[in-house]
Structure 1
Amino acid sequence: MDSQQFREFGKAAIDLMADYYDTIRTRDVLPSVEPGYLLKLLPENAPEEPESWKDVLNDFSQSIMPGITHWHSPQFHAFYPTGSSFPGIVGGLLSDSLAVIGFSWMSSPACTELEVVTMNWLGKLLGLPEEFLNCSDGPGGGVIQGSASEATLVGLLVAKNKTVHRLMRNDPTLNEGELNAKLVAYTSDQCNSSVEKSGLLGSMKMRLLKSDPEGRLRGETLKNAFEEDRAKGLIPCYVIANLGTTGTCAFDPLYELGPVCNESDVWLHVDAAYAGAAFICPEFRGLMKGVEYADSFDFNPHKWMLVNFDCSAMWVKNGYDLINTFDIQRIYLDDVKTDIKIPDYRHWQIPLGRRFRALKLWTVLRIYGAEGIRNHLRNQISLAQHFAKLVREDDRFLVEPEPSMGLVCFRLKDGDIVTKKLLENLTEKKQIYMVAATYRGRYIIRFVVCSNLTTRQDIEISWNKIRQEADTIIQPTIHTKSQIPAINHFEILSSCEKSK
């Protein structure tokens, strides 16, 4: 393919995707395909001869698109958002076009330095303590990881290395292997699965501590766990606090957990994967009170901040902790020596190579500006509040716990079985997608405002689909407080008399 064909192919692909976003509301959120559908459509072997890019795009439309779950549909309300925006797409295109591997400064100076700049910008927007930033006088700084999962694992491996070497310095007779076997990590029973997985990958026992009734890990619980394990001869090493849990978007109190960790010389990592973006809005920064106690902090701009995957922003108080853990020298990796504080990012991550992710972050920050991003976040929170209001106006439903950020959890008063049936029926129809969680032992449905295309009307369309499905599985007996007129549907204005 020459440059002229590249221009034609690229323009056609961009037109195709622009049309896709313009018409995404006309598509079912979930695909109507069976497992193995694509294996039957595509050849068993790669083509021997070159094929036309027009045929590639045609097959993309005819074979690939039917099997896509449309994460950016305004009727996609599952999990949490995955970021996407036209500026983010262009930033990714620029990164892919340059195709640099920025493991050192010399391998592409702009790749390293733009990351330093954008991570400083972003850290300041969040209101992080200055000691976490590259522009501080200390050894702190930010790095873009591939995901929050990677950041959690990086933190665990660094904490493991730092703890073992600290203990061996204090007592040279200690055995490294025996120490590693005694290390323990701690987190809430509301943690993301990736947090528990980091313990498996890092060969460290991970204790999931019971959260309080609001889904938060409390300082007293953590302190008691430390004492229990020390009594067994174990060594507390690593704590992962959650700012915005996956199930209900609960916020662990860092101001309680932090002092417990600091007093015991235990690494505190903050996982704010989804909700961390909200701290760009000053009114939400109280939720990270106590962040100054943390050793590392991570959130995903590729979730709620309009940056396309992958872009996970991680800051540490001391970059030398990472370097001491991951520094492997080879003569071919020798780099330019300088008095300027420029990180060698290959020592700050698990892989050697790294993509020019900062281009996506830089592009989004430039095109939207801080105020544009704040407007986006506040708008999505207001849409979630509107949905919660609609649910509360129907006597058959309960909203619980209280909505948090762009997440609203709800259930039918008639119980877990009928709530589960409601979600199953909606999923089967493929027009709206949500997933379940549990709260205080009850089955709940999570409704997240995900797509940056979502409007108030989209919220009302989603609610109508939910309400209409409830009509089919609950015997109508009483009127609800208020309803939105259904679309192409005979509306039954009722709810269940037996609701509790």
Structure 2
Amino acid sequence: MPDLDPDEFRRLGHQLVDWVAEHRASLASLPVRPEVTPGAIRAQLPASLPDKPADDVGAALTALLDDVVVPGSLHWQHPGFFGYFPANASLLSLLGDLASGGLGGQGMLWSTAPAGTEVEQVLMDAFAEALGLGPEFTFDGGGGGSLQDSASSGALVALLAALHRSSPDWRESGVDGRERVYVTAETHSSLAKAVRVAGLGAQALRIVPFAPGTFAMSPEALAGMLADDVAAGLRPVLVCPTVGTTGTGAVDPVRAVALAAREHGMWVHVDAAWAGVAALCPEFRYVLDGVELVDSFCTDAHKWLCTAFDASFLWVRDGRALPDALSITPEYLRNAATESGAVVDYRDWQVPLGRRFRALKLWAVVQGTGLDGLREHIRGHVALASELAERVRAAPRFALAVEPSLALVCLYVLGPDGEPDDEATRATLERVNAGGRSFLTHTSIEGRYAIRVAIGSLTTTASDVDTLWRSLTSP
């Protein structure tokens, strides 16, 4: 197959870079949410692929982007995007992605990607130090980290390592139906999916009640459930405290949860996908309280840390735990470096065999911002959320659903009786989203419909929060 020659690639690459730069520069002028109906985008595309190449590949690609993709996309990089959690695809990180794609390496083994492996190891150890995780999570300290595609994958491999530790013959004999995994009703659905993918069955997932007056896991309730399950002949395998739940931003008491789990020898995996990176700032390091007692810790670079999807940090205390659970070595993967035991083969730290050079994205970001720039980024969003929360407190038609958590604010619209009004809250969210200047998502809090305002987009400023507030409060 004929490929582009370097000069033609250079020409087309400049054209596409110009398109991306212009798209980002004009993004604020676009509606955040597309006005499309299901099937409308498919209807604009030809049903068959061309037998012959396009006369102008660059023109064909930019035409698709301009005419179909941009009008049909939810714009996650828009300054008025306040839904879900942020997805910070900085232009800095795109430079690293371009370099990774240009190298075209396959990082499954150290021997197939020595630089890819060791750059990632250095980066993971350095971020562990910057976050305050402690030396036990570094390669030098006997642990180590890897860049997963997502926190969902991190949860799955942590569960597989937990199963292996609970039953070392698990790889051969499989599960026996007695395994149990402990979460709360606020825990991300990726844990339920991990349980399903691992073949444990729905009965394996145990929902721990909240501590009174909170949406955080009750350590006392967990301890009681563990004792009861062990007495019933069941096998507690993993508990997942969350730091910054998706629904309300709740922070489970990691230290107390880990202590409750310790006597049963179970794996403690912390899901801090959104909030964990806040620990770069000393004043927010409380989110890591108790992490020194856990087995694995996950937080995403691709949410709030200026790095394009996909890049999720996963650290483990025991650097052998994931390879022991996951390694399968057919003859075609054998090599002298692996046999020496002196290298890390990242294929043993994840479910897929292959992997991209994700570390280049983060390397580009840190070189372009420094850790101080990342701290400023996080602090700015937390400050904007605090200011928004004060507006909600002062507004007679609104109420905070829960206290703000870092850069997440959850609120209700009140009815004439002063109580949260589900229909009014839903109608307000729909009106804001239809206006096109801001985009919000919702959650359910004790059966009440609540609006979530997740502040975190790269270019969001106080002016964008002002625009959101005007949209929320307009009749």
Please report the TM-score for the alignment, with normalisation by the length of structure 2.
Answer: 0.94
Q: Tell me, in whole angstroms, the C-alpha distance in 2 between the residues paired with 1:441 and 1:44.
A: 44
1:166 shift after superposition:
7.7
Q: Which SS does the other structure have where 1:68 is aligned?
A: coil
Identity score, percent: 35
Residue of structure 1 in register with 2:388 after alignment:
387
1:45 corresponds in structure 2 to 48
Q: Any idea what the Cα deviations from partners look like across 1:37-67, whole Å, max 9, x if unmatched?
A: 1211111111111111212212221121110
Mapped pair 1:72 → 2:77 = yes
Letter in 1 for 2:261: C
Match of 2:192 among 178, 191, 196: 196
Q: Does 1:268 align with 2:273?
A: no
Residue 458 (structure 1) aligns with: 464
Report the AA paired with residue 148 of structure 2: Q
CA distance in 1, matches of 2:50, 2:274: 41
Q: Deviation at 1:314?
A: 0.4
Q: Which stretch shows the higher mean deviation, 109-118 or 36-45?
A: 36-45
Structure 1 CA distance for aligned equivalents of residues 169 and 42 of structure 2: 53
Q: CA deviation at 1:333?
A: 1.1
Q: Deviations over 1:90-115 (max 9, x none)?
A: 01111111111111111011010000
Aligned to 1:223: 223
**What is the CA deviation profile of residues 379-404 of structure 1, one whole-angstrom value per residue up to 9, with x for unaligned ones?**
11111112212222321111231111
Question: 1:130 is matched with which residue?
Answer: 135
> More deviation in 378-387 or 228-237?
228-237
> Would the aligned equivalents of 1:144 and 1:311 in 2 still touch at CA under 8 Å?
yes
The SS at the match of 1:186 is strand
Aligned partners of 2:22 and 2:388: how far apart in 1? 28
Tell me how far 1:167 sits from its aligned partner. 9.7
Residue 400 of structure 2 contacts residue 411 of structure 2 at CA under 8 Å; is this kept in 1?
yes
How far apart in 2 are the matches of 1:85 and 1:3?
A: 26
Give the number of the structure whose alpha-carbon radius of gyration is greater.
1
Q: Does residue 117 in structure 1 map to residue 113 in structure 2?
A: no
Alpha-carbon distance between aligned partners in 1 of 2:311 and 2:195, rounded to the nearest angstrom = 22
1:90 counterpart = 2:95: yes
The answer to whether structure 1 residue 211 and structure 2 residue 205 are counterparts is no
Instruction: Show the counterpart of 2:235.
Output: 235
Give the one of 18, 21, 25 matched to 1:18. 21
Higher mean C-alpha deviation, range 360-369 or range 109-118:
360-369
C-alpha contact 1:214 1:401 (8 A) present in aligned 2 = no
Q: Which amino acid aligns with 1:157?
A: L
Alignment of 1:318 with 2:321, yes or no, is: no
Q: Give, in whole Å, the separation in 2 of the partners of 1:359 and 1:91.
A: 5
Q: Do 2:144 and 2:318's aligned partners in 1 also have CA atoms closer than 8 Å?
A: yes
Q: Could you tell me how far apart the structure 1 residues matched to 2:68 and 2:278 are?
A: 38
The aligned amino acid for 2:470 is: N
Give the letter for the 2:373 counterpart: G
| Alignment-mate amino acid for residue 206 of structure 1 | L
> In the TM superposition, what is the alpha-carbon distance from 1:176 to its structure 2 partner?
4.1
Match of 1:483 in 2: none
Secondary structure at the aligned position of 1:71 is classed as coil
- Distance in 1 (CA, whole Å) between partners of 2:47 and 2:288 is 52
State the match for 1:407 in structure 2: 408
Does residue 277 of structure 1 match 2:274?
no
SS at match of 1:180: coil
Instruction: Give secondary structure in 1 for the equivalent of 2:250.
Output: coil
Aligned to 1:308: 308
TM superposition shift of 1:341: 4.8
Partners of 1:420 and 1:60 lie apart in 2 by 32
Task: Give the structure 1 partner of residue 452 of structure 2.
Answer: 446
> Does the 8 Å contact 1:387/1:459 carry over to 2?
yes
| Alignment of 1:424 onto 2:423 | no
**Cα deviations by residue, 1:68-96 (Å, 9 ceiling, x for unpaired):** 10001111110001121111010111111
Please say if residues 81 and 303 of structure 1, whose CA atoms lie closer than 8 Å, have aligned partners that are also in contact.
yes
Letter in 2 for 1:385: S
- Identify the match of residue 102 of structure 1 among 100, 107, 115: 107
Contact 1:77–1:449 (CA under 8 A) maintained in structure 2: yes
Whether the aligned pair in 2 keeps the contact of 1:72 and 1:450 (CA below 8 Å) is: no
| 1: CA distance, partners of 2:397 / 2:250 | 25
What SS is found at the alignment partner of 2:215? coil
SS of the residue 2:181 aligns to: strand
Distance in structure 2 (CA, Å) of the matches to 1:166 and 1:98: 40
Q: Secondary structure at the match of 1:242?
A: coil
Q: Name the amino acid aligned to 1:163.
A: S
Query: Is the CA contact 1:187–1:206 (under 8 Å) kept in the aligned structure 2?
Result: yes
Q: Residue type matched to 1:55 in 2? A: A
Q: CA deviation at 1:298?
A: 0.6
User: What is the CA-CA distance between 1:331 and the residue it aligns to?
Assistant: 2.1
Amino acid at match of 1:348: W
Hey, what's the Cα distance between the residues in 1 that align with 2:358 and 2:259?
34
Task: Show CA shifts across 1:402-457 (max 9, x none).
Answer: 11111111111212221122112323334321111122432211001131101111
Determine the C-alpha separation between the residues in 1 that align with 2:446 and 2:45.
47
- Residues 133 and 288 in structure 2, CA contact (< 8 A), matched pair in contact too: no
Corresponding residue number in structure 1 for 2:418 = none
Say if 1:416 and 1:442, in contact at 8 Å, map to a contact too: yes
Partner of 1:95, secondary structure, is: helix
2:285 alignment partner AA: R
SS at match of 2:241: strand
Structure 2 residues without counterparts, runs of 5 or longer: 416-420
Count matched residues: 460
Report the alpha carbon displacement of residue 342 of structure 1 after superposing the two structures with TM. Answer: 2.9
Structure-2 residue corresponding to 1:142: 145
What residue in structure 2 maps to residue 478 of structure 1? Answer: none
1:66 partner SS: coil
Mapped partners of 1:49, 1:399: distance in 2? 58
Deviation of 1:17 (Å): 1.1
Are the aligned partners of 2:180 and 2:206 in contact in 1 as well (CA < 8 Å)?
yes
**Conserved in 1, the CA contact under 8 Å of 2:123 and 2:359?**
yes
Of 344-353 and 202-211, more deviation after overlay is shown by: 202-211
* Aligned equivalents of 2:341, 2:96: Cα separation in 1: 27
Distance 2:336 2:262 in 1: 36
Partner of 1:361: 362
Q: Is the 8 A contact 2:437 2:467 kept in 1?
A: no
